[in-house]
Amino acid sequence: MRYVARRMGLFVLTLWAALTVNFLIPRLMPGDEATAVLSRMKGVNPAALHALQVEFGVNTDQNIVVTYLQYLGNCLTGQFGLTAARVPVMTDILDKLPWTLGLVGVTTVIAFAIGTMVGVVSAWRRGGRLDSILPPLLFIVSTLPVFFVALVLLYVFAVTLGWLPLASNYGLGSTPSLSLAFTWDVIVHAILPAATLIIVTAGSWIYTMRNNMVTTLAEDYVRMARAKGLPGWRIMIDYAARNAILPNLTGFAMQLGYVLGGSILVEYTFSYPGLGYLFYTGTTDHDLPLQSALFLVYTLAILICVLIADFASALLDPRTRDA
């Protein structure tokens, strides 16, 4: 219970830190510079500019503590103001959220499953054919820059071979519906972005899982299980893999931060209209409210996953519960 409480503490603290960073950055800049940034925003009329100046604490004589509390309250109730295009930020975000959630969620699960399984088997058959090829190869591949993998896939499969679409989340002619044709269209458009994310993340899962397994297989309880004459697959899964997977669960959240960051680059390269692409357009439009809100969304996503990973490792490993 203390463990859970401590992790909740980290959750609240990090969220607060992210909120405060968002609040402070525009205020730490000299006032005229803030105005300059604000005025670079697309199509802002004087009245809207004044509203933004109030929002960012420029040219106002309001007490900073009062503004800060107001800001925290607004964030907690999901009021992030308007984007440069005068649409509520939340509407824009909720509109794009499913695409990123689908892309990142599915690829993370696939990469974790592939990576963990290959890692377990290659450590079990140490020095075998699978072990000497896949882990080193995929480790090197996983260190390639995300966008480079994306560009190569785009070049080979979309530009040169023309097998898969160049960009976007579904074809221009399609209208969103639950029909089979539309679902297929969405899947075809998602293949390259998803493949990129899987290629760059599976390797590190394999690497850590294999190394954890190698260490675990040398433990006395594994030798004990062998002495008892248990079948090989039971030792591999119930004795070794179950313990070796624990560090991977904790690494899960950290990996997710990397995947989310990578998904921004992937969505940009493939013009996939999810949150990452929205983030990118926010930088070109100097759309500050949108960017701040998106930063919070990404932080919150990671924090939730950290919590889930914590609960999962508490379930699997009794030792963490009273640590």
Partner 1 sequence: MTTPAISPGASALIEGPAQRGPSASRRFAQAILRNRKATAGILILAVISFVAAFPGLFTNINPHAAIYDQQVGPSAQHLLGTTQVGEDVFSQLIWGTRLTLLITVVVSLAATVISILIGVTAAYVGGMADRSLSLLTDVFLVLPTLPLLIVLTAYLPSGSLTITAVMIATSWAFAARQLRAQGLSLRTRDFLEAAKVRGERSSYIIIVEILPNMISLLVASFLGLAVFVVGFAAGLQFLGLGNSTELTWGTMLYYSQQNGALEAGNAVWMLAPGAAVAVLGTGFALLNYAFDEIGNPALRPVRRRRVKPSA
Provide the mask over 64-103, with x wherever binding to partner 1 is found by CB under 8 A and - wherever it is not: ----------------------------------------
State the Cα–Cα distance between residues 101 and 301, nearest whole angstrom.
Answer: 10
Q: Does 42 bind partner 1 (CB under 8 A)?
A: no
**228 CB burial (10 A radius; 0-12, 13-18, 19+):** exposed
Q: 108 vs 269, which CB is nearer to partner 1?
A: 269
| Binds partner 1 by CB under 8 A, chosen from 46, 127, 162, 173 | 127
Long-range contact set of residues 28-33: C-beta below 8 Å, sequence gap at least 24? 31/58, 31/59
Q: Are 149 and 253 in contact (CB under 8 A)?
A: no
Using CB under 8 A, pick the residue from 186, 211, 281, 311 that binds partner 1.
Answer: 211
Q: Counting Cβ atoms within 10 Å, is residue 145 exposed (0-12), middle (13-18) or buried (19+)?
A: exposed
Q: Return the residue of 3, 4, 25, 53 that touches partner 1, per CB under 8 A.
A: 25
At position 78, the amino acid (one-letter code) is G
Stretch that binds partner 1, among 85-93, 171-179, 188-196, 265-273 (CB under 8 A): 265-273
Q: Figure out which of the listed residues 69, 76, 137, 152 binds partner 1, where binding follows CB under 8 A.
A: 152
Q: In angstroms, what CA-CA distances link 11 with 34, 48, 99, 309, 310?
A: 31, 35, 25, 13, 11
Interacting residues of 143 by C-beta distance below 8 A, sequence separation 6+? 203
List contacts with partner 1 (CB under 8 A): 10, 13-14, 17-18, 21-22, 25-26, 29, 37, 126-128, 132, 136, 139-140, 143-148, 151-152, 154-155, 159, 166, 208, 211-212, 214-215, 218, 226, 229, 232, 247, 250, 253-254, 257, 260-262, 264-265, 268-269, 279-280, 282-284, 286, 288, 291-292, 294-295, 298-299, 302-303, 306
